[in-house]
Amino acid sequence: MGIRRADSPFRFVSCMELREVMGQRAMDEQRLLELIEEVPADSIYYHTHSYYLRHAYTQGLFPNDFATWVTLHAHDRMLGERLGILDPFEFDGIEQLRGEILAIMGEHLSHIKTVPRATSGEPFEFVRSHVIEADLGLETRTLREFRDALAHVEVGAIYNHVCEARLRKGRLSGDFADWLSVEDGLSLPELAARVAKVGCLGLSLEGMREQIVRLCDRELAAQ
């Protein structure tokens, strides 16, 4: 079997995040809820989605800032767990995610008598994201080229092609899986399906890289 070359190459585009401090702070869960309702979508994005970009190789307590703050600073483990399980990329958009966070917090607060407060004195500080993309000038046409580029590319590219693609570009399976599956890409639908699943496992970006490279290696070995 010959080496398949895609008619349309895969171009790696990486991204970085510029962070803007909003100057809005919450000292307790009620105020946190109110501010989550008010802040721009880019701020919800910062505290949920782009957590993965900031924790590219490993994860902290929970993969979103709301869950971590209520657990560590307001000492509310139950709410932390409920928020911590959310996968931001499962939602169709930021507003749906915001709605879900508000619903969870509202329901939780309606069942407790005292609103948990940051006893440590560390408020929740709202920040917003500005994502800046840069084309890496890196094109691949074969699975081998793709695998090798993926193994060494700047980690922001993995965020851009898996996470950003799902959220902002509406490509639910991510750019990698998309290119692997389409006719003018590599036309490997089974590999594409396995790669698409990696984006939903809740891995760090380096974890995603490792898994996708491994899937490519298996495919290359089988070819």
The binding site for another protein (CB under 8 A) comprises 14, 16-21, 23, 54, 56-58, 60, 72, 120, 122-123, 125, 127, 130, 132, 134-138, 152-157
Sign for the CA dihedral angle at 146, 147, 151, 155 comes to positive
Question: Closer to another protein at the Cβ: 168 or 200?
Answer: 168
Alpha-carbon distance of 162 to 192, in angstroms, equals 12
Question: Closer to another protein at the Cβ: 84 or 182?
Answer: 84
Question: Closer to another protein at the Cβ: 60 or 189?
Answer: 60
Minimum Å distance from CB 28 to another protein?
Answer: 17
112: Cβ–Cβ under 8 A, 6 or more apart, which residues? none
Minimum Å distance from CB 55 to another protein?
Answer: 8
Alpha-carbon distance of 168 to 71, in angstroms, equals 29
Question: Closer to another protein at the Cβ: 187 or 204?
Answer: 204
Minimum Å distance from CB 62 to another protein?
Answer: 12
Of the candidates 111, 95, 97, 29, which has an alpha carbon nearest to the alpha carbon of residue 64? 97
Minimum Å distance from CB 179 to another protein?
Answer: 19
Question: Closer to another protein at the Cβ: 138 or 192?
Answer: 138
Other C-beta atoms within 10 Å of 33: how many?
Answer: 20
Q: Which helix (H) or strand (E) holds 148?
A: helix 143-152
Contact (Cβ atoms closer than 8 angstroms) between residue 172 and residue 219: no
Minimum Å distance from CB 130 to another protein?
Answer: 6
Question: Closer to another protein at the Cβ: 45 or 91?
Answer: 45
Minimum Å distance from CB 164 to another protein?
Answer: 15
Helix residue ranges, H only, the chain: 29-38, 41-47, 51-54, 65-72, 77-84, 94-110, 143-152, 155-158, 165-167, 175-181, 189-198, 205-222
For 133, which DSSP code? E
